[in-house]
Structure formats: structure tokens, C-alpha cells
């Protein structure tokens, strides 16, 4: 506990009180996560709250990862049993909802891009004109609006799609939240299961901690409020970092949480310390959001004195502001600065490039790749889960598992709800040459006979299929490739993850898929990415196999839990990472939220007059610890100047000593080598004509190898 500052200690030492709320306003770099971790430690070791009575959740995977990774080390320092600490519940909001629904309903489908594309196939032609659904995103929005209005809008086409989704347990993330709330409202005390996750949420947990409360949005309110009611609710966050307004107004759900418990049981505390950014960066960032001087805040808002605050010493380097006439010049500037930094002992892993849009990050990634600079894109979930090719393999698994279960059902002619239909439609729609009219005719024929699509294809002679000859051959090929896995129940007998993955991959390769699902697989880069994603999926399958309980087939267990298993794999992978030069991180500002980097390049991503949102700009700026470059920023409080290729940062002995001390690195090299580094950079510039950017890319690859 001696690691805590006075303002942090006030939060940690606040007593446990049932049916109460503790709201902690914690700005960037204030030690929010550390305070949360020690608050949990205090609850267990001082307040005698059992680990299994504590629930922590946040909105993003990386926030949950960060908590889990650090929770064990904090408790190990206190010599608390490691196995007991693992009983603390730590989930994303949607991960928690998924766990509730799967426990009560079994396998479900959370609809992704490939699913929406499959649903598009069921729309009549008039609904796919340029004036209607030009993309699956538009269809997604219309379905969401239809559900929000309870189907009151008279739209028979959308009504049929929604019915199909309901029958096949296909859910959007909003559906997942609503469905989870429904199960929490039911009485599970009479359940055959003596203990379940749903029951635990209702009865066992005493304390709920919410990390980054400003990220919550209105549609999450029904689930969160029912979980937190009657428990001690502890919330950490900062309204100045609220950047998800496009999902709904955060103030709506915060009002509900603020009024969840009586006013006399609600306490608001603030953390004013800053362990992250230099005073130079904080000063500019505070000016962006009109935050008053920190001394005035402390005097007005808390009994902690200004002298007790923890703040970093000045670095002597202000944030660097620059503007450019075009994106090529901006890219050249960024690459040049990266080279200067690497010549000054900076590691690639120290640097992050943050932008407003993914499209701009793709442009920058292409430039970095051509220069041979290693980079890594940061995303809200692993890349393999977003790969359409991987999604297709998962859908093939779902077809085999669900259809295999359904073939044992005796209700095949009673108009039952067939969960396999959705996955079959999705995978069948991906076959090249199988058009919308064919999909619609087949689905209609199945409905007339009250059969699932799979039972129709295997029980009804193909001459009765309402399809043309060429389409029949494609569907026959589809059916024959899946037949053994389904009809002989192979899919549930395969217990080896690699054997299952090989079988499913062989099925996919035997189908003539549309190019969009191949993502230019013939391209060497795309093929390399697919191999990487396939390897990651295989690793997650192995993790899933290692903790599969008895009495359930491997494929079912994997499909029901791969989201959670991915987190387990990620945590294990993080522990095995070694030190080294690493990679530059590319991220949208939204995906970088909650992270920090020694050096940040923050770019607006375009040269238009479209201004950057104030909160997004504030979040982006406060990701930087020591050095911040702001490029082409359009904001009323940022005045960028045309950039000159200044070399002063390389010869700034004071700054590099400061930088290496802040990162707990040796300062000897920084003191002795800056002159040599500058000489080396100038030599490279002279020999390779660095500023001739795109005409010198091959030379620059050799430059970076020499560095």
C-alpha cells in the first residue's frame, strides 16, 4: 500500500458498504488501474470480501486484459493465494452477457459481416437498389431500428429476416444485452443446477467495479443496472475521455447509475496525480478541454494538498505541431522523425501512430511497409476474428454441429425452429454463382415443407429443388462435402483440434467461393496474413481443448466459448513475449484508449477543414508519455505550423537522459552517444537522399537495416 498517493489511498481506504456507490473521477495517467487493483486487494484482505464475491467489468477486451494481467502480480506481492484470486470475475460487458445467454440457451450466433452479407441474399431485388441497402451496414441499421421499435413499423421483408434471426438464435450485440437481462430477471433458485453463473450474478456478488465508466452507452443500461442494484458499485472513469457518443449519450446511463442507490450512500472522489505525461503535454491537453490549473482543482475539490500530488518533472520539450499540404509530405515527415528517433536509441515499440480513421492508418502502414519499418495494428479484438475467411470456417463448423444435432430430432416435420438454417444460408451464399434468387427459392421451398434446409437437401430428391441445373450441381457439391461430418456425426467425434480444423479447411477449399471471401488469397501478403490468422485460430482451439469439461463434444465447447478462450490465449501469449526492438503501433484513437506510449504521432488523417472532436483529441494527446507530434490537426485550440526538418531532438542530451530514466533504462548511452547518433543520421541522409521519400524506398530499407 506504500505505493499509493494520498488521493489514491482515500479511494482504496473507503469502507465497504452494501447498496452504495463510489464514483472515482480519474484523469489520464492518474494511476486509475493501480488504484482499482489495490481497491480489490483492500476489499479481500481488509474488508474480508471473498474473491468470488467481486465482479469487475469494462467495455473493451484490452481494458479487461490489463486488469487481469496486473491483478495477479498485486496479490502475489501481498502473498495471497493465486488460485483464490482467479475466482474474481473479470469480463467485458458483452463477454459477460454472452456467458449468461450461452449458459441458458446453448450455442448462439453473434452476427458479423459475413452473416449480414448472407441476409442480404434473402432480400427481394427492389430492396437492393441504390436507394435502399447499398451495403450490409445499411441493412444492419434498418434491422436494429426495427427491433428497437418492437416491430411496429410495417416492413414485412425485415420482419421475415428478424424471424429467421430469432429462430436461428442469431443476435446482434444489443440483442445479447437484452437477452442476458431477461435471464437475470428470472428466478433461478429452483433450477436443477445447484450453482450457475446466472445465479451467481443474482445472489453471490457483493461488489461490482466498472472500469472506464465514460465508455458505457445507453443500450447497456438494462443489464448493468440490474447487475449493480443492491451491491457496492465502484466506478472509475473520466467524462473528458468519453468518445463513443456515436453509440449514444453517456450521460443517459450515468444518470441511471448515479441514481441507483440513495444520495446519502453515494460518494465522489477524484484522482489528480499524473504518472504518465510530461507537464508540457498535460498543459496543452488541459487547455484543449478548458480544465483549470490542477492546484485550483485540488483546493476546490479535495482535502489533498497540492504538495502531496505526484507529477512528472518537465522534459524541456514541448509537443511538436506540424501541418502539410498533402498526405505524402506528412508520411515523409513521420518516417524521417522515426528514423531520427531510432538513431537516438528509441525502440520501435516505443512509438505509436494514432489517427482518426482506419483508412488513413492503412495508407501509413503501406508507407512503413515500403520503408521496411516493422509495425503492428492495434484493434479491439484479434485480427483472426475479423478475417472473413476465418469467419467462414467458423460458420462451416456451426453448420456441421447444429445440423448433426438436428438430424436426431423427431420434430423435423412440425415447423420447428432450426438453428442451422442461418449458418447454412450464410455459407451457401458465399458460393460463387449461387445468386439471391436461388437462395430465396430454396428457403421458400423449405418453409413450404416445414423442413430445415439441411433436411430438405438430404431428404427431398434434387429434381424437386426449385433451382436451375448449374445451381443444383453447386448445391449438391456443397451437400456432399458436408455430408459425412453431419450425417455420420463426425463433427462431434473429432476430439483433436488440428484434425477438426483440417477437415473444415478441406471443405472450404472444395467450395468455389466468391472472391470477397477469399480476400485476394493469391496475393502473397494476404496469404501470409491468412496463415497467421489460421495459426492463431489453431492456438485458441488448443487452449479450448485443454480446458474442455467432460460430457460435451470439442466442437460444441469451442464454438460456445472461443471468445473467452481467445482471451485466455492472449494472456498466455503476453506472458511469453520477450524484449527487443518490437514494432511501431498503429491505431485509431478509439482503439488506443486506455493505452500509453513513450512517443505518439497524432494525425488528423486528412487535409480538410473537418475539425477533430475535442474529447478524441484529448484522449489521443494523453496517450503520450514523453514526446508528442501533432500533424495536420484541425482544432480551434491547435495552431499547427508548416514543419521544418529539425534535428534538435537528436542532440538534446537533457531530454534523452530524462527519457531513458522515465523508462527505467540506462542513461549512459544517452549521455555519450548523441553526437555519434546525429553524425550517423546525417551520413545516412547524405548517402541515401532521405528526403526524396518515395524515389528512395529501397535505399531506406537498407538504412533501417544498418540502424
Annotated binding site: 26-33
Binding annotation for ATP: 26-33
The span from the CA of 679 to the CA of 108, in Å, is: 61
Query: Under DSSP, is residue 299 helix (H, G, I), strand (E, B) or coil?
Result: helix
The per-residue DSSP string of 429-497 comes to HTBTT--HHHHHHHHHHHHHTT--HHHHHHHS-GGGSSS-HHHHHHHHHHHHHHHHHHHT-HHHH---H
CB 306 within 8 A of CB 274: no
Query: Under DSSP, is residue 498 helix (H, G, I), strand (E, B) or coil?
Result: helix
Question: How many Cβ atoms are within 10 Å of 87's Cβ, its own excluded?
Answer: 12
- Number of DSSP helices (H) and strands (E) in the chain, helices first: 32, 14
> Of 284, 267, 277, 359, whose CA–CA distance to 320 is shortest?
284
The span from the CA of 397 to the CA of 395, in Å, is: 5
Q: Which residue has the cell 490549473?
A: 293
Residue 292 sits at the vertex; the CA angle it makes with 291 and 296, to the nearest 5 degrees, is: 140
The span from the CA of 54 to the CA of 304, in Å, is: 29
One-letter-per-residue 3-state SS of 528-540: HHHHHHHHHHHHH
The span from the CA of 164 to the CA of 155, in Å, is: 14
Phi-psi category of residue 110: left, alpha or beta, with phi > 0 → left and psi -120 to 50 → alpha: beta
End-to-end CA distance of the chain: give it in Å, rounded.
43
The span from the CA of 707 to the CA of 702, in Å, is: 9
The span from the CA of 263 to the CA of 677, in Å, is: 60
The span from the CA of 3 to the CA of 15, in Å, is: 19
The span from the CA of 309 to the CA of 297, in Å, is: 12
Q: Which residue has the cell 434434387?
A: 462
> Of 16, 22, 66, whose CA–CA distance to 45 is shortest?
16
List all residues 6 or more positions away from 257 whose beta carbon is below 8 Å from its beta carbon. 21, 213, 216, 224, 225, 228, 233, 235
Q: Which grid coordinates belong to 238?
A: 473520466
Query: Under DSSP, is residue 546 helix (H, G, I), strand (E, B) or coil?
Result: helix
Give the strand order in the sheet containing 89-92.
89-92, 54-58, 207-211, 232-237, 21-26, 266-271
Which pairing describes strands 320-322 and 232-237: parallel, antiparallel, or unpaired? unpaired
Half-sphere exposure of 634 (CA within 13 A, CB side): 11
DSSP single-letter state for residue 289: T
> Of 221, 209, 285, 242, whose CA–CA distance to 593 is shortest?
242
Residue 528 sits at the vertex; the CA angle it makes with 523 and 532, to the nearest 5 degrees, is: 150
DSSP single-letter state for residue 603: E
> Of 632, 59, 605, 646, whose CA–CA distance to 336 is shortest?
646
User: What is the radius of gyration, based on Cα positions, of the chain?
Assistant: 28
Give kind and range of the element (H or E) at residue 57.
strand 54-58
The span from the CA of 13 to the CA of 4, in Å, is: 11
Question: How many Cβ atoms are within 10 Å of 429's Cβ, its own excluded?
Answer: 22
Amino acid at each position: 500500500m506504500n505505493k499509493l498517493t494520498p488521493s489514491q489511498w482515500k479511494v482504496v481506504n473507503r469502507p465497504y458498504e452494501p447498496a452504495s456507490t463510489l464514483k472515482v473521477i480519474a484523469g489520464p495517467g492518474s494511476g486509475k488501474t493501480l488504484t482499482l487493483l489495490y481497491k480489490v486487494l483492500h476489499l479481500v484482505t481488509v474488508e474480508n470480501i471473498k474473491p468470488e464475491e467481486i465482479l469487475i467489468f469494462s467495455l473493451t477486451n484490452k481494458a479487461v486484459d490489463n486488469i487481469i494481467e496486473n491483478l495477479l502480480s498485486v496479490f502475489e506481492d501481498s502473498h495471497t493465494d493465486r488460485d483464490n484470486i482467479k475466482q474474481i470475475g473479470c469480463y467485458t460487458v458483452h463477454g459477460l452477457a454472452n456467458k449468461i445467454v450461452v449458459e441458458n440457451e446453448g450455442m448462439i450466433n453473434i452476427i458479423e459481416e459475413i452473416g449480414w452479407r448472407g441476409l442480404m441474399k434473402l432480400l427481394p431485388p427492389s430492396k437492393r437498389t441504390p436507394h435502399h441497402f447499398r451495403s450490409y451496414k445499411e441493412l444492419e441499421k434498418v434491422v436494429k431500428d426495427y427491433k428497437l421499435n418492437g416491430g411496429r413499423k410495417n416492413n414485412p421483408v425485415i420482419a421475415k429476416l428478424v424471424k429467421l434471426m430469432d429462430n436461428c438464435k442469431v443476435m446482434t450485440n444489443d440483442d445479447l444485452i437484452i437477452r442476458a437481462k431477461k435471464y437475470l430477471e428470472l428466478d433461478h433458485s429452483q433450477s436443477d443446477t445447484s450453482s450457475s453463473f446466472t445465479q451467481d450474478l443474482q445472489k453471490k456478488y457483493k461488489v461490482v467495479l466498472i472500469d472506464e465508466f465514460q465508455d458505457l452507452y445507453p443500450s447497456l443500461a438494462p443489464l448493468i443496472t440490474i447487475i449493480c442494484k443492491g451491491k457496492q458499485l465502484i466506478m472509475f472513469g473520466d467524462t473528458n475521455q468519453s468518445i463513443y457518443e456515436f453509440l449514444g449519450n453517456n450521460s443517459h446511463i450515468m444518470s441511471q447509475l448515479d441514481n441507483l442507490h440513495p444520495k446519502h450512500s453515494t460518494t465522489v472522489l477524484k484522482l489528480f496525480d499524473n504518472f504518465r505525461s510530461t507537464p508540457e503535454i498535460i498543459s496543452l491537453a488541459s487547455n484543449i478541454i478548458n480544465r483549470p490549473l490542477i492546484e485550483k482543482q485540488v483546493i476546490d475539490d479535495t482535502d489533498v494538498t497540492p504538495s502531496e500530488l505526484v507529477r512528472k518533472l518537465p522534459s524541456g520539450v514541448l509537443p511538436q505541431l506540424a501541418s502539410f499540404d498533402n498526405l505524402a509530405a506528412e508520411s515523409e515527415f513521420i518516417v524521417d522523425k522515426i528514423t531520427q528517433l531510432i538513431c537516438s536509441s528509441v525502440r520501435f515499440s516505443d512509438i505509436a501512430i494514432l489517427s482518426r480513421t482506419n483508412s488513413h492508418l492503412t495508407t501509413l502502414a503501406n508507407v512503413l511497409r515500403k520503408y521496411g519499418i516493422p509495425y503492428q495494428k492495434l484493434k479491439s479484438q484479434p485480427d483472426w476474428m475479423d478475417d472473413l475467411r476465418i469467419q467462414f470456417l467458423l460458420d462451416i463448423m456451426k453448420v456441421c454441429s447444429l445440423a448433426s444435432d438436428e438430424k436426431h430430432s423427431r420434430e423435423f416435420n412440425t415447423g420447428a425452429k432450426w438453428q442451422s438454417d442461418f449458418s447454412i444460408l450464410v455459407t451457401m451464399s458465399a458460393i460463387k454463382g449461387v445468386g439471391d434468387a436461388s437462395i430465396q427459392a430454396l428457403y421458400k421451398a423449405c418453409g413450404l415443407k416445414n423442413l430445415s434446409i439441411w433436411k430438405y437437401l438430404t431428404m427431398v430428391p434434387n429434381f424437386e429443388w426449385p433451382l436451375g441445373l448449374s445451381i443444383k450441381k453447386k448445391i449438391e457439391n456443397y451437400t456432399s462435402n458436408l455430408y459425412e461430418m453431419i450425417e455420420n456425426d463426425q463433427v462431434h467425434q473429432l476430439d483433436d483440434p488440428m484434425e477438426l480444423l483440417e477437415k473444415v479447411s478441406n471443405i472450404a477449399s472444395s467450395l468455389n467461393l466468391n472472391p470477397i471471401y477469399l480476400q485476394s488469397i493469391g496475393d502473397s501478403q494476404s496469404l501470409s496474413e491468412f496463415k497467421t490468422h489460421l495459426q492463431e485460430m489453431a492456438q485458441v482451439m488448443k487452449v479450448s481443448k485443454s480446458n474442455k469439461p467432460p460430457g460435451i463434444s470439442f466442437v460444441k465447447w469451442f464454438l460456445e466459448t472461443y471468445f473467452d478462450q481467445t482471451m485466455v490465449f492472449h494472456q498466455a501469449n503476453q506472458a511469453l513475449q520477450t524484449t527487443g526492438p518490437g514494432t511501431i503501433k498503429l491505431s485509431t484513437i478509439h482503439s488506443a484508449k486506455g493505452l500509453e506510449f513513450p512517443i505518439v504521432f497524432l494525425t488528423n488523417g486528412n487535409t480538410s477543414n473537418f475539425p477533430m472532436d475535442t474529447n478524441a483529441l484529448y484522449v489521443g494527446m494523453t496517450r503520450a508519455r514523453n514526446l508528442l507530434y501533432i500533424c495536420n490537426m484541425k482544432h480551434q485550440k491547435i495552431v499547427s505550423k508548416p514543419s521544418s526538418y529539425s534535428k534538435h531532438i537528436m542532440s538534446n542530451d537533457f531530454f534523452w537522459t530524462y527519457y531513458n530514466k522515465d523508462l527505467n533504462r540506462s542513461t549512459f548511452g544517452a549521455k555519450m552517444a548523441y553526437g555519434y547518433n546525429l553524425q550517423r543520421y546525417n551520413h545516412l541522409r547524405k548517402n541515401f537522399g532521405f528526403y526524396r521519400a518515395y524515389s528512395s524506398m529501397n535505399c531506406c530499407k537498407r538504412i533501417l537495416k544498418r540502424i
